[in-house]
Amino acid sequence: MGLSHFLFFNYNQLMKEKLRKYLTLFLSTLEISAFTFGGGFVIIPLMRKKFVFKLKMIDDEEMLDLTAIAQSAPGAIAVNASILVGYKIGGVLGALISILATVIPPFVIISVISHFYIAFRDNRYVSLVMGGMIAGVAAVVADLVISMAWDILKRKRLVEILMLIISFILLEFMNLNIIALIFIAGAVGYADYEISRRWGHDLH
């Protein structure tokens, strides 16, 4: 029961905790990826529920930053978001683990289905279940949007509320490119910061 035993014990504990963290990351991402129906960004509400509210590994604003990065980088948004979440939780190894966990479900499902995809595509039961799931996914996304928009409104900062409304109009009715919007919104954020820094007050 000397010092070496104590150190060894601590090392073991540490390894166990690390392993548990990676395992949680892997299983959570696997589960989320298996249910990312209806477009890659659907992974965002699922990740927010899991990693922000349930596991408390990421804070809410950080999740929005990660979404912005995932959206503006090349590649599938779901994969990008997983890489960012994985990196936050476990560095480069974490990123690799979550890439793997994100790819496995669609890879396995398509590999299996590709052999009888016409039967799958035309199956009545499958399309009924999928039709219902899309309605469920729409509810999940609506719930996310309302709670996030509410957070913005609650803060009562004119710049943010205006940006929310204007961005929505630009995207929905003017078909503005997402990358262009990201540049504009980033510039507005920076201008807002410079103005309040130089004149010492917020734009209310």
Partner 1 sequence: MIYIELLLSFIQIGLFSIGGGYAAMPLIEHQAVNVNGWLTMQEFADIITISEMTPGPITINSATFVGIRVAGLPGALVATAGCILPSSIIVTILAFIYYRFKGIDAVSSVLKGLRPAIIAMIATAGLSLMNMALFNGDISNGISITALVIFVIAFIILKKWKTNPIFVMLGAGLMNLIFGLV
**Among residue numbers 111 through 130, which ones bind partner 1 (CB under 8 A)?**
111, 113-114, 117-118, 120-121, 124-130
Name the CA dihedral angle for 143, 149, 151, 156, rounded to a multiple of 10 degrees. Answer: -160
Range 30-69, binding partner 1 (CB under 8 A): 31-42, 44-46, 49, 53, 61, 64-69
Min CB(51)–partner 1 separation in Å: 13
Range 8-27, binding partner 1 (CB under 8 A): none
Range 185-204, binding partner 1 (CB under 8 A): 185-190, 192-194, 197
Angle at the Cα of 70 (from 133 to 186), degrees rounded to 5?
A: 120
Helix (H, G, I), strand (E, B) or coil at 109: helix
Tokens representing 22?
């990676």
Tokens representing 130?
């999928």
Name the CA dihedral angle for 141, 144, 148, 151, rounded to a multiple of 10 degrees. Answer: 150
Min CB(183)–partner 1 separation in Å: 10
Q: Please, how many CA atoms are within 13 Å of residue 29, restricted to the half-sphere of its CB?
A: 29
| Nearest residue (CB) to partner 1, 12 versus 177 | 177
Only one residue has tokens 């503005």, namely 176
Range 155-174, binding partner 1 (CB under 8 A): 160-161, 163-164, 167-168, 170-172
Only one residue has tokens 């078909």, namely 175
Min CB(88)–partner 1 separation in Å: 7
Binding partner 1 by CB under 8 A: which of 110, 119, 158, 203?
110
